[in-house]
Amino acid sequence: MLSSYLTMAAILFCIGLYGALTKRNAVIVLMSVELMLNSVNLNLVAFSKYGVVPSLTGQIFSLFTISVAAAEVAVGVAILIALFRSRGSANVDEFNEMRR
Amino acid sequence: MGGFYIDWSGELVAFFAFAVVMIVGAVLMLTLTKVVHMVASLAAVFLGLGGMFVVLEAEFVAFTQVLLYAGAVTILLIFGIMMTDHQAVQREPVRPAHEIVSAVASIVLFGILFYAIRTTEFAPSAPPLQAGVDNAMEIGKQLYTQHVIPFELVSVLLTVAFIGAIVIAKKEAE
Split at pLDDT 50, 70, 90, the class of A8 is: very high
Domains of chain B, residue spans: 8-90, 94-121, 134-174
Mean pLDDT (whole number) for B82-104 = 74
DSSP at B90: P
Q: How far apart are CA B41 and CA B32, in angstroms?
A: 9
Q: According to CATH, what is the number of the domain A2-93? A: 1.10.287.3510
Look at residue B62 and tell me whether its pLDDT is greater than 80: yes
C-alpha count within 13 angstroms, C-beta hemisphere, residue B17: 13
Q: Which of A31, A37, A29, A30 is nearest to A13 (CA)?
A: A37
DSSP at B128: P
In chain B, residues with a C-beta closer than 8 Å to the C-beta of A79 are 168
Residue B89 backbone dihedrals phi, psi, to 5 degrees: -125, 130
Look at residue B1 and tell me whether its pLDDT is greater than 50: no
Q: Given an 8 Å threshold on Cβ–Cβ distance, is A81 in contact with B105?
A: no
Domains of chain A, residue spans: 2-93
Which ranges of A88-100 does DSSP label H, i.e. alpha helix? none
Helices (runs of H) and strands (runs of E) counted in chain A = 3, 0
Q: Which residues of A32-59 are buried (b: 16+ CB within 10 A; e: fewer)?
A: bbbbbbbbbbbbbbbbbbbbeebebbbb
| pLDDT score for B130 | 67
Q: Which range, of A9-18, A67-76, B108-117, B122-131, averages the lowest pLDDT? A: B122-131
Contact between residue A72 and residue A29 where contact means Cβ atoms under 8 Å apart = no
Beta carbons within 10 angstroms of residue B49's beta carbon: 28
pLDDT in tens, A29-62: 899 999 999 999 999 998 888 877 788 888 899 9
Q: Which of A10, A50, A66 is nearest to B66 (CA)?
A: A66
Interface membership of B166 toward A (CB under 8 Å) = yes
Q: How far is residue A11 CA from its own chain's centroid?
A: 14
CA distance A29 to chain B (A): 10
- Taking a contact as any Cβ pair under 8 Å apart, which residues of chain B between 11 and 30 contact chain A? 11-12, 15, 19, 22-23, 26-27, 29-30
Q: What is the topology classification, in CATH, of domain B8-90?
A: Four Helix Bundle (Hemerythrin (Met), subunit A) (1.20.120)
Residue B21 backbone dihedrals phi, psi, to 5 degrees: -60, -45
| pLDDT score for A57 | 87
User: Please, which residues have CB within 8 angstroms of residue A55's CB and are 6 or more apart in sequence?
Assistant: A48, B129
Rama region for B8: left / alpha / beta (φ>0; ψ in -120 to 50; rest):
beta
| pLDDT score for B2 | 44
Contact between residue A87 and residue A95 where contact means Cβ atoms under 8 Å apart = yes
Interface membership of B144 toward A (CB under 8 Å) = no
| pLDDT score for B132 | 58
CA distance B1 to chain A (A): 22
Q: How large is the ipTM? A: 0.89
Out of B61, B88, B113, the one facing A59 most closely (by C-beta) is B61
Beta carbons within 10 angstroms of residue B102's beta carbon: 18
Out of B38, B102, B139, the one facing A59 most closely (by C-beta) is B139
| pLDDT score for A39 | 93
